[in-house]
A and B are shown apart, each in its own frame.
Chain A
């Protein structure tokens, strides 16, 4: 009887490439004891080891050896130094060591991390508060944009350009204005108002300027402000002046932005 099919199976098995039924078949054959196949496997492993030795050298990762030695030191007691304990004694000793270890670890971990957990809880609470604030600010901003977009859809809405004047010639602004609903003003390049003062918006029809609210700008010089609807005569001009931060009924300070 020829041994041939098993020679091929052994070579393929040694390469790790045997699959399917043939693998099961070969493993059964091997389990039954076959010196020829054992020899083929042994020689194949040595030949493949020679292939590995032929690889160009590579710099070893320096941390691996230390990591292994630490791992070994941490998980094993030197098997050399002690006589083999009998299984039951061993089991009881292991169990006792595990319980003691768990208790010790538990206490240690608890005391070590209680303080840290408290701090983390405080940090988490502060973070949550900040996120809620940011979220509220974003929602507000989205509401403004939404309102502006809604206004722009209406054909009777006008967009009025504001020009920088006097102390802030670089400033620009737009008013989105609906004769019935009111509107929004968007400004840019406007420096922060001096301490104790704020920007006040005015709507001017045929008569005296009407106060239309106070606003501030952010660090980048931008600001947004909702303008309430104005009863009576249509608005012809929008203007912004610097006023005391409580606001005034009629303009007193320098004009920084105005429509033509």
Chain B
């Protein structure tokens, strides 16, 4: 699975448009909900989705499999671009609006055969984030979904910077453990 994904990126780097179409079909269903959760507006999310895949096509040569799976590569890009978009919007409007999860719609059935596996995975991870102490979950969510830096988080939750750092480290350690031990 992972090798097949890396192969697709190599083919994209070689200019294979069909490989790109497959790559899109495989990763867009995972990447888009994350973008939507971060930017909230469907039209914005659609723009970001296109930008992220365009950059993946352009930068396919730069992909290094030793640094992570193709999915992690795409998700990191998607999250970064989505946060860029939110920051740009926030600069324009000077307001911050809390995430609206109800913007997310239920999707049609997973075309890939591993729907059940993915659903199980989702359950594990969601509960993993849910099992984190609230204080750790809060800082991770503020950083990852709202794009706040450690200093901004400390301001927001009125805690010393050192406390924020520790919570981030402990929270991420626990998340890493869950992912490593889940099949």
Contacts and interface: CB of A to CB of B under 8 A. Distances in A.
A58 B143 contact: no
Contact of A65 (B24, B37, B83, B169): B24
Given A44-B172, A56-B33, A49 B54 contact: no
Nearest to A14: B172
A54 to B, nearest CB: 4
A46 B179 contact: yes
A55 B20 contact: no
Contacts of B108: 59
Contact of B143 (A16, A52, A71, A72): A16
A15 B67 contact: no
A17 B121 CA distance: 26
Contacts of B83: 16
Given A57-B29, A58-B107, A64 B14 contact: no
A27 to B, nearest CB: 15
A59 B42 CA distance: 10
A47 interface: yes
Nearest to B36: A58
Nearest to A78: B15
Contacts of B166: 8
A137 B108 CA distance: 60
Given A12-B165, A18-B150, A68-B24, A49 B80 contact: no
B150 A17 contact: yes
Contacts of A72: 17, 20, 57
B33 A58 contact: yes
Interface residues on B, range: 35 or more
A49 B71 contact: yes
A98 interface: no
Interface string B44-73: 011001100110010000000001110111
A45 interface: yes
B28 A64 contact: yes
B80 A52 contact: no
A170 interface: no
Nearest to B28: A60
Interface string B66-100: 01110111011011100100000000000000000
Given A7-B169, A54-B121, A43 B176 contact: yes
A64 B35 CA distance: 14
A28 interface: no
CB-CB nearest 4 A-B residue pairs: A79-B15, A57-B107, A55-B33, A17-B143
Interface of B: 14-17, 20-21, 24-25, 28-34, 36-37, 42, 45-46, 49-50, 53-54, 57, 67-69, 71-73, 75-76, 78-80, 83, 104-108, 110, 118, 121-123, 125-126, 128-129, 140, 143-144, 147-153, 165-166, 168-169, 172-173, 175-176, 178-180, 182
29 contacts: A7-B169, A8-B165, A11-B168, A11-B173, A15-B143, A38-B67, A45-B68, A46-B72, A48-B75, A50-B182, A52-B34, A53-B121, A54-B129, A55-B33, A57-B29, A57-B33, A58-B33, A58-B104, A61-B46, A67-B50, A68-B20, A68-B53, A71-B54, A73-B17, A76-B15, A77-B15, A79-B14, A80-B14, A81-B15
